[in-house]
Each structure stands twice: as structure tokens, then as C-alpha cells.
Homo-oligomer: A and B are copies of this chain.
Amino acid sequence: MLNRTPSPALCRPDGGPVRVLVVDDEHDLTDVLCQALRYEGWEVRSAADGASAVAAARSFRPDAVVLDWMLPDTDGLAVLRELRAEAKGICVLFLTARDAVEDRIAGITAGGDDYVTKPFSLEEVLARLRGLLRRAGMAREPSGSLLVVGDLVMDEEAREVSRAGTAVELSRTEFELLRFLMRNPRRVLSKAVILDRVWAYDFGGRAHVVELYISYLRKKIDAGRTPLIHTVRGVGYVLKPEAA
């Protein structure tokens, strides 16, 4: 899987690791999420229903909560209220079905929280969570949303990418893929891992899409210049400066 040095950009004011509570009744989902968050260098706990979520929040005191909107015992709004009553500044990222968004979720983003619709990709959840935490003042440096690899620069918030100063237009999926590559520079990423992280968890397609999107990215980023994206035959892809 993916090993990463503990997240350098985000931490609590006391210097300790960010604490995240994951609340969902689908265990497969919480397992995957928790693992990904742990690799991000954060401290993670999980709960399967509203009651234990509130209890866990009380003892664990998380900085952020990833909260399924539909829980076996209550709905997300009730849990949100309870959480807010205890810890005013807590960040909440909702997980919700696509069609539930329009009616009931409306309003929650107004408070500073955010949501992701199922089925989501892991990178999307991580990105939103990082955004929430940064805005809540957990960023070590305020401009932490700038990713740089060689002369390739990505501004995550503005969704702008430029190579050697010239802007590059990317589609949504191209952007997500490049973001994942740029967050793991000099590391060989297998197509399976890329698929797991960048594409939604219910995506049935095969690794061929990854090859396709790599080729799109090369056309837009490496065209003519010295390549940053390298193929490691039989293994995967790496993003790094220098051909070596």
C-alpha cells in the first residue's frame, strides 16, 4: 500500500497529530478510510452509529469527524448538533448519497462544514478533509495548498496547474490523478493503487483507464519538455524531475 512520511503540513496547535473520527455503519468503508487517514499521519478512531460516535467524540476529542449522513440509529444532523454542543470548532465532513444532497444537506456547508457524495474516491475525501482542517487553522503554513514537483506547480484551492510558468487546463479526473501523483513524488505507484485512490470505490473498470489518463496528462504536461511522468514497466508510474 502507500507509505508516507507523517503529514508535515497539518497538525494541531499543540504539535500533536490531527485526530479524526470516522462514523459509518459500513465496515468495509470505515476500514479503508481509517487506513488511508492513518497513512496520512493522523490519529484515527471509528464508530458505527450515532450514539457511539458521540461517546467516542467525548473521550477521543477529535479535530475532525467524517460522518455518514444515514446512520442506523439517528441521522447526521442530530449527531452534528451533539458534536457542536460539545466542541464548537470541530470540522465535519459528511458522506451522503448523491440524491440526498439537494434537499437536506443544503445548509450544512454554510457553517463551514463540507460533504462528499457516495460513491467517492479516497483522494477526494482526503482533499476535502485537508481543506477543512486548513481553514480551521490547523495548517502549519497558511499557503499549504501549493504542490510543487520540479517546475510543475499545482494550486489545489484554485485548481490551477502550470508547468514552467505556463498554465495547463485539466479535466476533473486528470486533476485528481495529477494531485495524487504530486502528493507522492518520487514514489512508484501501481495502477491498482492509483485506481483505488483516485477512482470511486465502486468503479468496475480496469487499469486501462489509468494508462489512458496518464497519456492525457503526458500530452498536457510533458509534451515537448523533459518528462516528469515516468513508466516503470510492470510496476506502475512515478512522478519526478530528472530522467534518472
Contacts and interface: CB of A to CB of B under 8 A. Distances in A.
B36 A110 contact: yes
23 contacts: A1-B109, A1-B113, A1-B131, A5-B142, A28-B81, A31-B84, A36-B111, A38-B89, A102-B206, A106-B192, A106-B195, A106-B196, A107-B201, A108-B196, A109-B192, A110-B197, A115-B192, A157-B187, A158-B186, A159-B232, A162-B244, A172-B234, A172-B235
B188 A3 contact: no
A97 interface: no
Q: Which 9 A-B pairs have the closest CB atoms?
A: A35-B111, A110-B196, A167-B244, A1-B114, A172-B234, A1-B109, A32-B111, A35-B112, A109-B196
Contacts of A233: 171-172
Interface in A1-23: 1-6
Contacts of A51: none
A71 interface: no
A32 B172 contact: no
A101 interface: yes
A31 B81 contact: yes
A179 interface: no
A114 B232 CA distance: 18
Interface of A: 1-6, 27-28, 31-32, 34-36, 38-39, 81, 84, 88-89, 101-103, 105-115, 122, 131-132, 135, 137, 142, 157-160, 162, 167, 171-172, 186-188, 190, 192-193, 195-197, 201, 203-204, 206-207, 232-235, 238, 240, 244
A197 B108 CA distance: 10
A112 B158 contact: no
Given A31-B84, A34-B88, A135-B2, A157 B107 contact: no
A187 B171 contact: no
Contacts of A122: 110
A171 B244 CA distance: 14
Given A5-B142, A160-B244, A204-B103, A112 B192 contact: no
Given A3-B157, A235-B159, A39 B186 contact: no
A233 to B, nearest CB: 6
